[in-house]
Chain A
Amino acid sequence: DQQVKQNSPSLSVQEGRISILNCDYTNSMFDYFLWYKKYPAEGPTFLISISSIKDKNEDGRFTVFLNKSAKHLSLHIVPSQPGDSAVYFCAAVDSGNTGKLIFGQGTTLQVKP
């Protein structure tokens, strides 16, 4: 049972344009959502998060949008840079539970110079 889904395995965008990565979830108990970024041969690193009581959180070039009614969130990167090329994982947590993160399958982003 995949509670967090990233239906696009890959995305390719031109440098300077916007990258939009999508994520869907099924568990209405999730109250925090996070995005992690992973380079090859490295562990994932935290990028940005959003609480379920908000619909938007922005940090520099990165913005996360949450649509609770649709159980959908997205990560926008603008402008995209070649160094953003990595695998992006969406994750969700039910903080009333053990607090463990449930991850999606990941989306590989390629930003072309």
Chain B
Amino acid sequence: GAGVSQSPSNKVTEKGKDVELRCDPISGHTALYWYRQSLGQGLEFLIYFQGNSAPDKSGLPSDRFSAERTGGSVSTLTIQRTQQEDSAVYLCASSLAQNSFYGYTFGSGTRLTVV
């Protein structure tokens, strides 16, 4: 597609429920990143996929968070047993390759609210 598409744009969920957030990167972009922005905070790195390499999961805050990227394209970020501190805007970005940091294109994000 023309840009990075994220869905849903907004999600309200009850504490303890699982949620899935979806990212459709730009076609042909091999690198995909997930970040989150909590209220009043900067963009916090979560996970990075590059081609067929093992993902860099060093930013995932707990084992309740997981992500996968199927067929080198669409990515899903899953949060199990959501907590109120998980409330944030979750942003996905893609780029042509690793180190194409000039070419990061971000989606508009999914605003997650855990009540």
Contact = CB atoms under 8 A, between A and B. Distances in A.
Interface in A17-68: 32, 34, 41-46, 49
Interface residues of A, number: 25
Contact of B101 (A34, A44, A45): A34
B42 A101 contact: no
A95 B99 contact: yes
A29 to B, nearest CB: 14
B50 interface: yes
A98 B48 contact: yes
A46 B102 contact: yes
Interface in B32-89: 33, 35, 40-45, 48, 50, 56, 59
A89 B106 CA distance: 13
Interface of B: 4, 31, 33, 35, 40-45, 48, 50, 56, 59, 91, 93, 98-109
